[in-house]
């Protein structure tokens, strides 16, 4: 059922990509604004480091949480810790007794709780007072960004919603749209007896609630009614106000591009006065009561708390290839994208995590690169998948087939073991030696000609590479990304022990996935004493430039960094250097390269299970290549090559080549003949 829903979501998103054009435009605006204002926050890296350290020491720190509960209580807050979501909903409902409506400002945890819907079932209308939240409330859809919830809707769509809501024709002019809704919300704010807000941080030392906003609505929800209910989570607790200001500054800059928001409210308890005979009277101009509901719901007991380091800046969404295709369909309510899926799973909600897109992530890792708290969502999702599989939960037929194929045939392609070594026939490769070429399943079966070319390049370095032949195992990369941790480790160890038996000191792979997987278990790498390198690293060190005769004919060349080579292994310059030597020209950099490289879309079984999603992600990548004026895109991974070639459409296609193919074409004839076959230059 979940799988069907996932496929239906992909179908609808990929059939009409234009439906999310508004979201992608908004994301671009945020990034442009960040670039414009970057000089105004020159200490951003140290701020991020500080955030990570604070989150590491605060989230899951019982002592700090207890300190926060005590200081909040001393300041006059009424504090409730709700163990479950239902407890939280009951607690808020109790606080709203006698009310038929409540005003509310932006809060992700209330979305997670489906609080508005649940209160409506009990006869209490929740009026969202943030314009974006009000729009999505009327549209009945999910927020696309933590601070720009309606950024995926066009002004025309919003005008349609307002026309229906107000029962009259409303133009799509932003002025009319905002003033109409402002007047309606103002009416509710003036009558409300209770207001609900979220928080951006809670400070343990001062016992303060920090709320950031631009519209002014959150202050009104907090200040104007008689009672203010704060719905939040324990992970929002930081030691001090200074730490909270760091959260606020990063969150504002990263979510909007501005360096400061219009309002930062620091609330340290109910309103009071002591102006008459120094006697304390609660509730002067602000609320008499402030109630904080901490929603635990698996957070305090979670073994892995890294997903809770999130400050809701949305940077991961801007850079996620899956989110750029699926939008808010990727992620559970309230916490969008991969981090939301990770958060649900780490709180023990495995089915929710699956439903929200556990297997949609390509494990590209770009979210971790841009996350101010360095949340490693890719790693977190792998652990959730592993937990999911340990509980023997079903996976899709495509993923099950990959796992069975690795177990039975030592490759994810369901090909007989012997088929893998076919490319090596006639090349005279010996089975043992100090340098072993690990061809890997994908190169051997999908791009066998590249395996032979790699041998030619290794020989051009003056080496005599060995090859394990039909006994070469699978490195386990794909199954690890599918959550089969035990099988992945077993496969990596089998490979490493085979290398040792073959007398290898260095092993060269042509696939970054293999290089990354074989390097992943550092204890095993140490145990078997083998150095694993990707072919681009080896050739950068050993291929004499004199072996190559630079050739043109590729036009303008861009280089696509494969995720497993760049972000996973930090290899960025060697392929570029080789490419420039082979073509005698500078590589053109397209948007999103190196650490921020956009994914090709094929990783983690996404291409097998959801080919249309993989194709759209690939097209997004190629669009960036075209925008850079590329005639040829070169990459260094058989998976990227395959997906980027498969997704090409129309006559204006960018030519996609593997680095090995390019280098081999540039080999002087004396070298290209050494592999036993003469290559023809393209």
- DSSP state string for 41-74: -TTHHHHHHHHHHHHHHHTT-HHHHHHHHHHHHH
| Residue 244 or 375 with smaller CB distance to ligand SF4 | 375
Distance CA 662, CA 665 (A): 5
| Residue 270 or 601 with smaller CB distance to ligand SF4 | 601
- The 3-class secondary structure across 186-215, one letter per residue, is HHHHHHCCEEEECCCEEECCCCEEEEEECC
| Residue 51 or 457 with smaller CB distance to ligand SF4 | 51
Q: How far apart are the first and last CA of the chain?
A: 48
| Residue 362 or 506 with smaller CB distance to ligand SF4 | 362
| Residue 365 or 412 with smaller CB distance to ligand SF4 | 365
Distance CA 468, CA 274 (A): 84
| Residue 342 or 423 with smaller CB distance to ligand SF4 | 342
Distance CA 337, CA 324 (A): 10
| Residue 343 or 666 with smaller CB distance to ligand SF4 | 343
Of the candidates 254, 214, 211, 34, the one whose C-alpha atom is nearest the C-alpha of residue 132 is 214
Q: Which residue has the tokens 């930062």?
A: 264
Q: Which residues of 581-598 are buried (b: 16+ CB within 10 A; e: fewer)?
A: bbbeeebbebebbeeebb
Looking at the DSSP assignment, which residues form a beta bridge with residue 534? 509
Least distance in Å: CB of 646 to ligand SF4?
Answer: 19
How many CB atoms are closer than 10 A to CB 301?
12
| Residue 313 or 395 with smaller CB distance to ligand SF4 | 313
Please report, as ranges, the residues that interact with ligand SF4 according to CB under 6 A.
310-316, 319-322, 337-339, 361-367, 370-373, 375, 377-378
As given in the structure block, the two tokens for residue 522 are 């550092």
Least distance in Å: CB of 399 to ligand SF4?
Answer: 16
Least distance in Å: CB of 567 to ligand SF4?
Answer: 9
Least distance in Å: CB of 244 to ligand SF4?
Answer: 15
Of the candidates 191, 227, 224, 210, the one whose C-alpha atom is nearest the C-alpha of residue 76 is 227
Least distance in Å: CB of 594 to ligand SF4?
Answer: 15
Consecutive H or E run containing 244: helix 241-256
Least distance in Å: CB of 318 to ligand SF4?
Answer: 8
CA 473 to chain centre: 31
Least distance in Å: CB of 329 to ligand SF4?
Answer: 13
| Residue 250 or 350 with smaller CB distance to ligand SF4 | 250
Distance CA 406, CA 414 (A): 8
Total residues belonging to the chain: 682
Q: 412, 492 in Cβ contact below 8 A?
A: no
Least distance in Å: CB of 312 to ligand SF4?
Answer: 5
| Residue 356 or 371 with smaller CB distance to ligand SF4 | 371
- DSSP state string for 314-329: -HHHHH-HHHHHHGGG
Rg (CA), the chain: 28
Q: 387, 345 in Cβ contact below 8 A?
A: yes
| Residue 202 or 364 with smaller CB distance to ligand SF4 | 364
Least distance in Å: CB of 339 to ligand SF4?
Answer: 4
Least distance in Å: CB of 21 to ligand SF4?
Answer: 20
Least distance in Å: CB of 340 to ligand SF4?
Answer: 9
Distance CA 370, CA 386 (A): 25
| Residue 376 or 646 with smaller CB distance to ligand SF4 | 376
Least distance in Å: CB of 327 to ligand SF4?
Answer: 12
Distance CA 527, CA 291 (A): 56
Q: Which residue has the tokens 């005979």?
A: 277
Name, in order, each residue with C-beta under 8 angstroms of 509's C-beta and a sequence gap of 6 or more: 438, 439, 440, 475, 515, 518, 532, 533, 534, 535
As given in the structure block, the two tokens for residue 527 are 């145990």
| Residue 227 or 389 with smaller CB distance to ligand SF4 | 389
The percent helix, strand, coil of the chain (3-state, each to 5) is 55, 10, 35
Q: 534, 636 in Cβ contact below 8 A?
A: yes
Least distance in Å: CB of 238 to ligand SF4?
Answer: 14
């Amino acid at each position: 059922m979940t799988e069907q829903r996932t496929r239906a979501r992909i179908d609808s998103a990929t059939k009409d990509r234009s439906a999310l054009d508004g979201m992608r435009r908004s994301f671009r605006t945020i990034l442009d604004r960040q670039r414009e204002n970057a000089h105004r926050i020159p200490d951003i890296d140290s701020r991020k480091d500080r955030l990570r350290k604070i989150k590491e020491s605060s989230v899951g720190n019982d002592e700090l949480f207890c300190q926060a509960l005590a200081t909040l209580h001393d300041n006059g807050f009424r504090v409730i810790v709700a163990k479950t979501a239902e407890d939280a909903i009951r607690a808020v409902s109790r606080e709203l007794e006698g009310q038929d409506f409540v005003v509310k400002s932006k809060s992700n945890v209330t979305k997670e709780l489906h609080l508005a819907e649940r209160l409506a079932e009990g006869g209490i209308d929740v009026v969202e007072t943030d314009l974006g939240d009000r729009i999505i409330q009327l549209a009945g859809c999910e927020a696309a960004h933590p601070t720009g919830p309606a950024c995926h809707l066009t002004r025309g769509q919003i005008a349609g919603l307002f026309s229906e809501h107000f029962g009259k024709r409303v133009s799509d002019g932003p002025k009319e749209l905002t003033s109409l809704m402002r007047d309606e919300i103002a009416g509710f704010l003036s009558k409300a007896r209770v207001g609900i807000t979220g928080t951006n941080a809670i400070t343990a030392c001062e016992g303060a609630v920090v709320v950031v906003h631009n519209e002014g609505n959150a202050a009104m929800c907090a200040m104007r009614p008689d009672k203010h209910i704060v719905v939040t989570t324990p992970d929002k607790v930081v030691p001090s106000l200074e730490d909270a200001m760091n959260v606020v500054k990063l969150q504002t800059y990263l979510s909007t591009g501005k360096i400061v928001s219009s309002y930062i409210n620091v609330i340290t308890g109910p309103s009071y006065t002591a102006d008459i005979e120094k006697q304390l009277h609660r509730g002067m101009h602000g609320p008499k009561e402030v109630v904080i509901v901490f929603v635990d719901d698996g957070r305090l007991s979670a073994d892995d708390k890294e997903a809770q380091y999130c400050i809701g800046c949305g940077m991961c969404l801007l850079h996620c290839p899956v989110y750029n295709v699926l939008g808010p369909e990727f992620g559970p309510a309230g916490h969008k994208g991969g981090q939301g899926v990770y958060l649900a799973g780490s709180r023990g909600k495995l089915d929710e995590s699956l439903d929200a897109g556990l297997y949609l992530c390509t494990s590209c890792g770009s979210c971790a690169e841009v996350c101010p708290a360095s949340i490693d969502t890719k790693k977190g999702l792998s652990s959730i998948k592993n937990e999911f599989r340990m509980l023997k939960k079903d996976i899709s037929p495509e993923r099950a087939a990959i796992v069975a194929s690795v177990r039975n045939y030592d490759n994810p392609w369901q090909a007989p073991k012997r088929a893998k070594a076919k490319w090596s026939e006639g090349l005279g490769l010996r089975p043992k030696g100090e340098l072993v070429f690990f061809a890997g399943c994908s190169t051997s079966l999908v791009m066998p000609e590249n395996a032979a070319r790699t041998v030619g390049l290794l020989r051009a370095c003056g080496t005599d590479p060995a090859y394990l032949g039909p006994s070469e195992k699978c490195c386990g990369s794909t199954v690890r990304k599918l959550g089969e941790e035990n099988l992945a480790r077993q496969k990596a160890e089998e490979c490493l022990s085979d290398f040792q038996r073959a007398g290898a000191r260095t092993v060269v792979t042509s696939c970054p996935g293999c290089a990354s997987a074989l390097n992943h278990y550092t204890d095993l790498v140490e145990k078997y004493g083998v150095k694993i390198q990707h072919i681009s690293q080896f050739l950068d060190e050993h291929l004499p430039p004199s072996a190559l005769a630079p050739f043109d004919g590729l036009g303008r060349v861009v280089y696509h960094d494969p995720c497993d080579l760049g972000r996973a292994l930090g290899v960025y310059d060697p392929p570029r250097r080789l490419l420039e030597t082979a073509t005698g020209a500078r590589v053109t950099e397209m948007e999103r390269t190196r650490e921020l490289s956009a994914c090709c879309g094929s990783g983690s079984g996404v291409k097998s299970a959801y080919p249309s999603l993989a194709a759209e992600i690939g097209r997004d990548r190629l669009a960036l290549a075209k925008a850079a004026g590329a005639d040829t895109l070169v990459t260094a991974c058989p998976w990227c090559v395959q997906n980027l070639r498969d997704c090409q459409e129309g006559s204006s296609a960018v030519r996609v080549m593997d680095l090995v193919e390019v280098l081999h074409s540039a080999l002087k004839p004396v070298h290209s003949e050494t592999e036993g076959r003469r290559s023809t230059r393209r």
